[in-house]
Chains A and B, each alone.
Chain A
Amino acid sequence: MTVGAYELIVVGASWGGLHAFSELLDQLPDDFGAPVALAQHRSIDARRGGLEDLLQLHTRWHVREAGDKMPIERRHVYVAPPDYHLLVERGSFALSVDERVQFARPSIDVLFESAADAYGSQLIGVVLTGANEDGAAGLARVKAAGGVAIVQDPHEAERATMPQAAIDATSADAILPLNEIGAFLYGLCCAAPAREVTT
């Protein structure tokens, strides 16, 4: 782990994720600039823009639904649209309607694996609460590509299955209660001068 060298944070969450991710956003100070991309399992029928609006209440950065070919910018939080996989290329997002992975679209694995390929050691992956095993293979890939793997402590997560599967799949750099993840990210990203995202 090298302080200040991170260009992107990917977060995966399922059952209980909205609450957990909101709390994580609350913890991140304003000068924290690294872009964050969230894959949250959600219903296709969810109201358009509803999740983004809710999350916007918890941060002063721009919360956006990630779009196809959308550039990845600092001080932005991107949310995977319902019923699409969100993939990361260097500097931008891509969407796909490929089969569900682990019954999920968006799939956390797809987001994490593509982000690991694009950002390697400049990536941080965070697996939060959930009642399935999506994200475990993805977090292992983040780690294998030299990135940082963080998992919410299953004992205090609303659902333990997903963080536990992630812990079983790779040697996480940190297993933390939710209320300490923000400070940990801040330490990784901001203790040294932040760099610009290269697009």
Chain B
Amino acid sequence: MAAPEARNGSPAPAREDVEPLETELLLEAINRRYGYDFREYAAASLKRRLWRRIHAEGLESVSGLQEKVLHDPACMERLLRDLSINVTSMFRDPSFYLAFREEVVPLLHTYPFTRIWNAGCSTGEEVYSIAILLQEEGLYERTRIYATDINEAVLETARAGVFPLDKMQDYTQNYIRAGGKRAFSEYYVAAYDGARFQRSLTDNVVFAQHNLVSDRSFNEFNVIICRNVMIYFDRSLQDRVHRLFYESLAMFGILALGHKEAINFTPHASAYEAIDPHEKLYRKVA
């Protein structure tokens, strides 16, 4: 066998096949020491993330990382940032927001008040996008958005509402394609530290830490938006989170998933009807 290759912070091939065992022990240790349970995260992606941290810490094995993480909470913080993949953008998948405008907004107009749960909101780009959409559709005043994530650090960014200026061109394009009704630049001012979004967009938003693996439901919602979070979970964890969502949705409530996430094959599939199967918009009907 050739020498292990390690590029892009990606994993080197295991010397022997002890790596699955080391990984199991590491995840067990993290769970017992810090209460974060990554044991049912999808293996291939988790492995990439662990090796990125192992290289960044100048370590050589998963068990090396275990030792460091157990003794050094700051290292755990860094690992948590790696494991919670926070990649996001405003009006990501514009066609989703367009469908939300056209197919969900009319339903919400029939409610006196709407509670929305944005689960796995990351640094908040999704929350601000939804808030803008609801404002333009005249719904924001009677909506409360609960924006949650496992990672407290990203929630800080989300609360601040300052996003990189160099992204605004892309976001403006997305906003237009998402059916935006105004000029996107009306929603932020360019400051020294980035594009500062209007404070009023978060007037009706509650940001809170919530772990989908271990925390319970905390309310009954009319809409749950959870995009590109469950692809990082294995099948059994996906099923459990689907149960959590099912139990947290009011009757006729809306479930919105990422473009490549489907409700088929989950235990609650038959309880939903598709409002827009391509955009992964579902409605609880049973």
Q: Which A positions have Cβ atoms within 8 angstroms of B?
A: 48, 67-69, 81, 84, 87-89, 94-99, 101-102, 109-110, 113-114, 116-118, 137, 140-141, 143-146, 170-171
Most buried by A among B13, B258, B259, B260: B260
Given A81-B260, A88-B44, A144-B2: A96 and B11 interface contact (C-beta under 8 Å): no
Q: Are A116 and B44 in contact (CB under 8 A)?
A: no
Given A67-B262, A97-B231: A110 and B48 interface contact (C-beta under 8 Å): yes
B10 part of interface (Cβ distance < 8 Å)? yes
- 7 nearest interchain CB pairs? A87-B44, A137-B7, A114-B44, A144-B2, A140-B5, A96-B45, A94-B42
Counting chain B residues whose Cβ lies within 8 A of the other chain, the interface size class is 20 to 34
B43 part of interface (Cβ distance < 8 Å)? yes
Q: Are A98 and B85 in contact (CB under 8 A)?
A: yes
CB neighbours of B45 from chain A (8 A)? 87, 94, 96, 98
Q: Are A117 and B231 in contact (CB under 8 A)?
A: no
Q: Report Cα–Cα, A141/B48, bound state, in Å.
A: 13
Closest Cβ of chain A to B46, distance in Å, is: 10
B21 part of interface (Cβ distance < 8 Å)? no
Question: B residues 79-136 with Cβ under 8 Å of A?
Answer: 85, 87
> What are 23 sample pairs from A and B whose C-beta atoms fall under 8 A apart?
A68-B261, A69-B235, A87-B44, A89-B42, A89-B43, A89-B44, A94-B42, A96-B42, A96-B231, A98-B45, A99-B87, A101-B8, A113-B11, A117-B47, A118-B44, A137-B5, A137-B7, A140-B2, A140-B5, A140-B7, A144-B3, A146-B1, A170-B2
B228 part of interface (Cβ distance < 8 Å)? yes
Q: Which of A81, A98, A117 interacts with B13 by CB under 8 Å?
A: A117
Q: Which B positions have Cβ atoms within 8 angstroms of A?
A: 1-5, 7-8, 10-11, 13, 42-45, 47-48, 85, 87, 228, 231-232, 235, 238, 258-262, 278
- Taking CB as reference atom, which chain A residue is nearest B3? A144
Closest Cβ of chain B to A189, distance in Å, is: 22
Closest Cβ of chain A to B18, distance in Å, is: 14
CB neighbours of A146 from chain B (8 A)? 1
Q: Are B87 and A145 in contact (CB under 8 A)?
A: no
Q: Are B260 and A68 in contact (CB under 8 A)?
A: yes
Q: Are A48 and B278 in contact (CB under 8 A)?
A: yes
Q: Are B85 and A97 in contact (CB under 8 A)?
A: yes
